[in-house]
Amino acid sequence: MDNITKKTMNFRGQMVTFDSPIVMGILNVTPDSFYDGGRYTYEQAIAHRAQEILDQGGTIIDVGAYSSRPGAEDISQDEEMRRLDKALSAIRKELPEAIISVDTFRPQVAEMVLKDFGVQMINDIMGGGEDRKMYNVIAKWNVPYVLMHIKGTPQTMQQNPHYNDVVQEIILYFAERLHQLRGLHINDVVLDPGFGFGKTLDHNYQIMAKLEVFKQLFPEPLMVGISRKSMIFRLLNISPDKALNGTTVLNTISLLKGADILRVHDVREAVEAIKIVEKMKEQDSN
């Protein structure tokens, strides 16, 4: 029997429900992200992209200043903060009430954006890291937290990743870290299996094939981030800019298997996928 997904989360006073899936729109302010690197480095372009995400039906704007593509440059903490300061200032000036997530694994960076810009969520690709210092920051500010699975670091994760059972390993990873988070009274947690982060092409599709298992075992909302990733464009022998159709196919499969949040570059198309799947489910329940 499936767990009942946690239905609401408090984003610093703004309540978000998961009665229907929602969309997190990606806003990378990096020069070298695999798909949109360099597009949003000026304040006007950043603010325009943030507004576009909301206009197209996105609920959360996910701002990232550290490229986590395989082999990306490991920028300094100061440089990450500088990029975020510029981007968040531009967004908050135009959209003071927008729900903003920041994609960072550094506790000091999370502390800065939570304190200075009222950010409402932290999206942590390192799952707290080895020292779990990020958990203390999340507990202090009491904001929703995305717990993602990764094997290695962005610099090493694709160097021959190996699992005996990739799904089972992610389940154990989530169980261990959720226990620690709950011990700190952190209850608003989103789970992300981390497609492409220390996984081969086959690993990614093994996770997708069994995605519903995470819904059966954990009540936390499930986030899927496969937008234009290599599991699509390498399989189809195309470039990331041609991978929208494949992204929509996998987003639809994810929704049918219980995804609560789609993290995407293409917000309008993800919102449309949600509407179609929800309409089908509505008829199926009648």
DSSP three-state, residue 229 = coil
Q: Is the residue at 277 inside a domain? A: yes
241: DSSP letter: G
Q: Is the residue at 4 inside a domain? A: no
- Predicted confidence at residue 53, as pLDDT, reads 98
Cα dihedral sign, 82-85-88-91: negative
The CATH number linked to 206 is 3.20.20.20
Q: Is the residue at 9 inside a domain? A: no
- Predicted confidence at residue 42, as pLDDT, reads 80
Q: What residue spans of the chain are helical by DSSP H?
A: 43-55, 77-94, 107-117, 133-141, 166-183, 201-209, 212-217, 230-233, 244-256, 267-285
Could you give the number of structural domains in the chain? 1
Positions marked catalytic: 229, 263
- Predicted confidence at residue 265, as pLDDT, reads 96
CA-nearest of 38, 93, 32, 40 to 62 is 40
- Predicted confidence at residue 111, as pLDDT, reads 98
- Predicted confidence at residue 35, as pLDDT, reads 45
107-117 vs 133-141: helix crossing angle, rounded to 10? 20
Along the chain (286 residues), what's the average pLDDT of each consecutive run of 10 residues? 72 95 94 52 87 98 85 83 94 96 97 98 94 96 97 66 92 97 96 95 97 96 96 96 97 98 98 97 82
CA distance 83 to 148: 23
* Domain containing residue 114: 20-285
CA distance 118 to 74: 26
Strand order in the sheet with 22-28: 189-192, 145-148, 121-124, 100-103, 60-64, 22-28, 261-264, 223-224
Helix%, strand%, coil% for the chain, nearest 5: 45, 15, 40
Query: Residue 237, class by beta-carbon neighbours within 10 Å (0-12 exposed, 13-18 middle, 19+ buried)?
Result: exposed
Q: pLDDT tens digit string along 67-85?
A: 776 666 788 999 999 999 9
Q: Is the residue at 261 inside a domain? A: yes
pTM: 0.93
